[in-house]
Chain A
Amino acid sequence: MTEDEREQQLAEAFAGLVDQRAHHTTHPELREDLAALAEIDRVVDPAALPERLSGHKILLEVGAGGMGRVLLAVDDALGRKVAIKTLAASYAGDVMLRARFMGEARAMARISHPNIARIYSLGPADEPPHFVMEYIEGAPLTRAAVPLTFEQRAELMRKVVLGVQFLHEQGILHRDLKPANILVGTDLEPKLLDFGLALDTGTTERLSRAGEVVGTPEYLSPEQTLAAGKLDVRCDVFSLGTVLYEVLTGALPFRGDDVNELLRRIREEDPALPRRLDPAIPRDLQNICLKALEKDPAMRYASAREMADDLRLFLAHEPVLAEPGAYTRLISTKVSEHLRDLDSWRHDQIVSAEEHHGIRQRYERLLEREDAWILAARRLTLAQVSLYLGAWVLVVAAALLMVFPYPALQGAPAVMVAWAAVVPVAWIGIRTWRRGHYRVAIAYLLAFCLLTPVAALVTFEEARLFTAFTQGNLKLELFHRVGFAKQFTNAQIWWSLLAGLPVCWWLRRLTRAPVFSLMNAFTAALLCLATLLRLGVLDCLDHDPSRFYRDLLPCAALFMAAGFIFERLKMPDDSRYFYPFGVAFTFAALSGLAGYDEPWANRLKAAFPWTRGQVEYLFIFNATMYFLLDRICDRFQSWQVRMVGKSFRFAIPGHVMMPLFILSFNAETPREAHTLEWILPATACLFVFASIPRQMKNFLVSGLVFLAAGVYHVQQDIYPNRAFWPTGLLAGGLVLMIAASNYALIRATLRKLRRR
């Protein structure tokens, strides 16, 4: 018998069995096939329904799950519809499952909550295992959500989350949250049902078998996919996140071709951003959803309550607190990919060093901004603005309290008022921070950070601490010069600033918010100035201002060094606020020296008599200094130091061309004036072309501006009313433009000529 004939014979036998509607056969080769077919009947035909259970008349089957069926029944006496959950006959003999089933009933029976289906009674022992519960007419959550607005969906979810929170408060983990287990009635009240996997946290016994993965796999949390490990309320939070994702997008966050693939995705992959699936989804809802879907339970909402609170904030049009790490992860992976590409482009010389540096910097700034509370500062709301306004008023009031002597507020009361502002602000700030309300906390902590030195200063003043005058001289005291104010000594100012410094430092460690780095640098800068005060700098301002500016130089060096050290210590967020202060001190010191230092000017006069010691030449000398500093900074790898170099570079054109412009007015002889008048446009042209190698746009712009000024000056002074000057310039400009637009051609021609 050939293979074909045999197959035909088997098929005939099989067709015979099907035609007889047989469900069983002893034929060894057809048994399995027939069973598979019979399985279809089992699925689509409701099994015979019992007539009555617990005295209720059974109408029909409304649902079936892994463990049993849900029947619709009528309570004859009350005339109400009820749902009866039964355990499948094949499981009724299993002691373990039976215990789990009745455990579910008992767990539910304890609960009375508007969003959780009620249990009416447990089936008597002489009937098949079942229990009677509230019948909910409605649709599963995801289907009910389709026609709703996002606000209505959020409201639905909030009720669901509160229901779950209530379960948790009763010591029950649901562990099988899914839309099919959440029915929504026509009144838009969701109800949780099916506690098939509910875990009573009060009893240590787990009702599922050891190592068994329970729950509908799509809605499992990462920790549930691992057999080991203790579960807590946050696994239900994750499932709520999955449900919210589906309610928002209509799609599941994690899908896989088979169960193992699915579980791997749940454990390892970030879901697609909901807004990518549907841009209409509010960003805050997306944030809530992603926060609940964090892989690490510690990153999720710590409880269903927190998630419900955030949903409430969304519904109240307040900014939500969720700041999912998914964005940062997404952006940092993308950016590091691009940075790698960029490096290879640089290597292949596709981009120039300048472009490479520029692009790299932009990417890094992007990363930083992500870290630096970009989410927090995303938008201004009434509440947020009021919060910062309040903090500012607090600081201003404290400043008034500090500066002005109020007769009614002297001695101990003044100190108490100052600290009465500081202590609650600090306490509320830290508490809010610990609770995760970061945006609010930052405002409080910022106020705390600013108020601390003020309060310390008031305390020192009232306690008569550090009252010694600088060098024993009242005239060297800052506040002595401000007659109307309280008479703080320089030492008191110095010590109070010093007291503020560790507070900034500690807050920076605690919150990792860069704004406290800025505060750190700011306080340190003030401390430097206070140190100068204590060194008697006020005296120099009277007699020799240049000394003050000379004293600023070490401060500048100090800040540069601090920035450099912090950067070496891998704290780039701290260093980047120290450099700008260093740059500012350098500018102030060098400009001040040029403007006020007489010995400096005398030395110039001695060396170059033709300069006549004019200040403008000193500014040009400063430009050279900046150029050298820029060269030095450029030798460093760090982009922060390069930024410092760039800021020095930025100042150069102004420092060169502005003095040249002024000098031409101050010339003593016409010859000197004419020389300077020609030098200015020439230098301007030089700067225009010098903008090319470093891509300095301000070289170009200031070059063009001073060129125009120089041309005008030449017209006024050297060629008054001579027509050849403007016409010559017109022709020159035109030639230059034509040459530039034919640049390639000219270059080729020149090359050819040179080769000959």
Chain B
Amino acid sequence: MDSTTTFTLLEQARAGNQEALSRAFGMYRRRLAVLVHFKLNPRARRFSEVEDVVQETLLRAFRDFDRFSYESPGSFLRWLSAIADHVIIDRIRYQGRARRDGEQVPFRSASNPMGPEPVDSQTPSRLLAQHEAVERLLEQLSALPDDYRQIILMAKMEDLTTAEIAERLGKTREAVALLLHRAVKRFRALREAASA
């Protein structure tokens, strides 16, 4: 991911350019969808669920964009990922209740001129469903052992460095490097098996 582009877009968004924010969201929503896919309980992991979580995450991000500060490449996604965690926890907490009444940020429309511009009517589910490569990727990642998948998601989806991963997992950097390399080798083997 070209970090300068993200940075520029986010700076423009801060200056009030909503289209820039929409584009930034557009750039990250697929990563976010993959992350959410694996964050969700496999039983709850339907396309519609992933879609709802991503949509809600982006709406909250839109609402709270003032609170975000750019620190490093990947910090935007980490911020989105943290919001997604909250969204998922809230969804579990409010499960079975009419949970989102009045909470929703309505999109801009004739009756609500101050609402956010819808990025488009495209939903992440469609994005996942229509993108064959993403589907394949999800399959291959699902086939990995949990610790392998987790480290690959951290390194590639959340853009964490091995030192940051080590800190988060409470392991040494050497152990993380070894785990990552093994995970990637297994992942590569899966890809090759699938394409053969």
Q: Which residues of A approach B to under 8 Å, CB–CB?
A: 7-8, 10-12, 14-15, 18-19, 21, 32-33, 36-37, 39-46, 59-60, 62-66, 70, 72, 137, 139-140, 143, 180
Interface size of B in residues (CB-CB distance below 8 Å): 46
With A65-B132, A180-B130 known as contacts, the answer to whether A45 contacts B178 (CB < 8 A) is no
With A11-B177, A15-B181 known as contacts, the answer to whether A46 contacts B191 (CB < 8 A) is no
19 extra interface residue pairs, beta carbon distance < 8 Å, beyond A11-B177, A15-B173, A37-B156: A7-B178, A8-B178, A12-B177, A14-B180, A18-B155, A33-B184, A36-B191, A37-B155, A37-B184, A43-B134, A44-B134, A45-B27, A46-B27, A63-B131, A64-B131, A66-B132, A70-B130, A143-B47, A143-B125
Q: Are A46 and B177 in contact (CB under 8 A)?
A: no
Partner of B130, one of A41, A42, A64: A64
Q: Are B26 and A60 in contact (CB under 8 A)?
A: yes
With A18-B162, A19-B161 known as contacts, the answer to whether A36 contacts B130 (CB < 8 A) is no
- B169 beta carbon closer than 8 Å to chain A: no
Closest to A8 in B: B178
**A64 partner residues in chain B, CB cutoff 8 A:** 130-133
Q: Are B23 and A60 in contact (CB under 8 A)?
A: yes
Q: Which of B55-63, B78-86, B90-98, B116-124 contacts A (4 or more CB under 8 A)?
A: B116-124
Q: Are B184 and A15 in contact (CB under 8 A)?
A: no
Q: Are A15 and B180 in contact (CB under 8 A)?
A: yes
With A8-B174, A11-B177, A59-B120 known as contacts, the answer to whether A44 contacts B162 (CB < 8 A) is no
Q: Are B126 and A139 in contact (CB under 8 A)?
A: yes
Q: Which of B65-88 contact A (CB under 8 A)?
A: 73
- B129 beta carbon closer than 8 Å to chain A: yes
With A7-B178, A64-B133, A180-B129 known as contacts, the answer to whether A72 contacts B188 (CB < 8 A) is no
Q: Are A14 and B184 in contact (CB under 8 A)?
A: yes
User: In angstroms, how far is the closest chain B Cβ from the Cβ of A41?
Assistant: 7
User: In angstroms, how far is the closest chain B Cβ from the Cβ of A197?
Assistant: 14
With A60-B119, A137-B121 known as contacts, the answer to whether A43 contacts B126 (CB < 8 A) is no
Q: Are A14 and B181 in contact (CB under 8 A)?
A: yes
- Expressed in whole angstroms, the Cα–Cα distance for A72 and B163 within the complex equals 39
Binary contact readout B182-193 vs A (1 if CB under 8 angstroms, 0 otherwise): 101101100100
Closest to A146 in B: B48
- Expressed in whole angstroms, the Cα–Cα distance for A403 and B186 within the complex equals 90
- Expressed in whole angstroms, the Cα–Cα distance for A321 and B108 within the complex equals 51
What are the 5 A-B residue pairs with the smallest beta carbon separation, nearest first?
A15-B177, A63-B130, A11-B181, A36-B188, A11-B177
- Expressed in whole angstroms, the Cα–Cα distance for A70 and B127 within the complex equals 11
- B14 beta carbon closer than 8 Å to chain A: no
**Can you report 23 residue pairs joining A to B where beta carbons are below 8 Å apart?**
A8-B174, A11-B181, A15-B173, A15-B176, A18-B155, A18-B161, A18-B162, A33-B184, A36-B191, A37-B152, A37-B187, A41-B156, A42-B133, A45-B31, A60-B122, A62-B120, A62-B122, A62-B126, A62-B127, A64-B133, A65-B130, A140-B130, A143-B129
**A45 partner residues in chain B, CB cutoff 8 A:** 1, 27, 30-31
- Expressed in whole angstroms, the Cα–Cα distance for A49 and B72 within the complex equals 24
Closest to A35 in B: B188
- B137 beta carbon closer than 8 Å to chain A: yes
- Expressed in whole angstroms, the Cα–Cα distance for A653 and B142 within the complex equals 74
- Expressed in whole angstroms, the Cα–Cα distance for A21 and B188 within the complex equals 18
**B23 partner residues in chain A, CB cutoff 8 A:** 60
- B50 beta carbon closer than 8 Å to chain A: no
**B129 partner residues in chain A, CB cutoff 8 A:** 140, 143, 180
Partner of A36, one of B155, B176, B184: B184
User: In angstroms, how far is the closest chain B Cβ from the Cβ of A672?
Assistant: 88
- Expressed in whole angstroms, the Cα–Cα distance for A62 and B29 within the complex equals 12
**B10 partner residues in chain A, CB cutoff 8 A:** none
Partner of A63, one of B121, B126, B174, B181: B126
**B121 partner residues in chain A, CB cutoff 8 A:** 137
Closest to A40 in B: B156
**A14 partner residues in chain B, CB cutoff 8 A:** 177, 180-181, 184
**A43 partner residues in chain B, CB cutoff 8 A:** 131, 133-134, 137
- B9 beta carbon closer than 8 Å to chain A: no
Partner of B30, one of A44, A59, A137: A44
Q: Are A33 and B137 in contact (CB under 8 A)?
A: no
Closest to B1 in A: A45
- B157 beta carbon closer than 8 Å to chain A: yes
Q: Are B120 and A33 in contact (CB under 8 A)?
A: no
User: In angstroms, how far is the closest chain A Cβ from the Cβ of B15?
Assistant: 20
**A10 partner residues in chain B, CB cutoff 8 A:** 181
With A63-B131, A143-B125 known as contacts, the answer to whether A41 contacts B180 (CB < 8 A) is no
Q: Are A19 and B130 in contact (CB under 8 A)?
A: no
**A44 partner residues in chain B, CB cutoff 8 A:** 30-31, 34, 134, 137, 156-157
Closest to A42 in B: B133
- Expressed in whole angstroms, the Cα–Cα distance for A39 and B191 within the complex equals 10
**A65 partner residues in chain B, CB cutoff 8 A:** 130, 132
- Expressed in whole angstroms, the Cα–Cα distance for A32 and B156 within the complex equals 16
Closest to A19 in B: B161
- Expressed in whole angstroms, the Cα–Cα distance for A36 and B126 within the complex equals 25
- Expressed in whole angstroms, the Cα–Cα distance for A8 and B178 within the complex equals 6
- Expressed in whole angstroms, the Cα–Cα distance for A12 and B47 within the complex equals 37
Q: Are A46 and B30 in contact (CB under 8 A)?
A: yes
With A44-B34, A143-B47, A143-B129 known as contacts, the answer to whether A18 contacts B180 (CB < 8 A) is yes
**B125 partner residues in chain A, CB cutoff 8 A:** 139, 143
Closest to B176 in A: A15
- Expressed in whole angstroms, the Cα–Cα distance for A60 and B123 within the complex equals 12
Q: Are A63 and B127 in contact (CB under 8 A)?
A: yes
- Expressed in whole angstroms, the Cα–Cα distance for A36 and B195 within the complex equals 12
With A10-B181, A14-B184, A62-B120 known as contacts, the answer to whether A19 contacts B163 (CB < 8 A) is yes
**B31 partner residues in chain A, CB cutoff 8 A:** 44-45
- Expressed in whole angstroms, the Cα–Cα distance for A465 and B26 within the complex equals 92
Most chain A beta-carbon neighbours within 10 Å: one of B73, B131, B155, B188: B131
Q: Are A62 and B130 in contact (CB under 8 A)?
A: yes
**B182 partner residues in chain A, CB cutoff 8 A:** 11
**A42 partner residues in chain B, CB cutoff 8 A:** 133
Q: Are A72 and B122 in contact (CB under 8 A)?
A: yes
With A18-B162, A43-B133, A64-B133 known as contacts, the answer to whether A32 contacts B188 (CB < 8 A) is yes
- Expressed in whole angstroms, the Cα–Cα distance for A63 and B132 within the complex equals 9
Closest to A15 in B: B177
**A72 partner residues in chain B, CB cutoff 8 A:** 120, 122
**B73 partner residues in chain A, CB cutoff 8 A:** 21
User: In angstroms, how far is the closest chain B Cβ from the Cβ of A115?
Assistant: 19
User: In angstroms, how far is the closest chain B Cβ from the Cβ of A691?
Assistant: 60
**B191 partner residues in chain A, CB cutoff 8 A:** 36, 39
User: In angstroms, how far is the closest chain A Cβ from the Cβ of B165?
Assistant: 9
- Expressed in whole angstroms, the Cα–Cα distance for A41 and B159 within the complex equals 10
Q: Are A140 and B126 in contact (CB under 8 A)?
A: yes
- Expressed in whole angstroms, the Cα–Cα distance for A66 and B195 within the complex equals 13
Closest to A18 in B: B155
Q: Are B133 and A33 in contact (CB under 8 A)?
A: no
Closest to A59 in B: B120
**B48 partner residues in chain A, CB cutoff 8 A:** 143
- Expressed in whole angstroms, the Cα–Cα distance for A606 and B113 within the complex equals 119
User: In angstroms, how far is the closest chain A Cβ from the Cβ of B120?
Assistant: 6
Q: Are B181 and A33 in contact (CB under 8 A)?
A: yes
- Expressed in whole angstroms, the Cα–Cα distance for A11 and B162 within the complex equals 11
**B173 partner residues in chain A, CB cutoff 8 A:** 15
- Expressed in whole angstroms, the Cα–Cα distance for A11 and B155 within the complex equals 14
User: In angstroms, how far is the closest chain B Cβ from the Cβ of A145?
Assistant: 13
Most chain B beta-carbon neighbours within 10 Å: one of A18, A33, A45, A140: A18
Closest to A46 in B: B27
Q: Are B137 and A40 in contact (CB under 8 A)?
A: yes
User: In angstroms, how far is the closest chain A Cβ from the Cβ of B128?
Assistant: 10
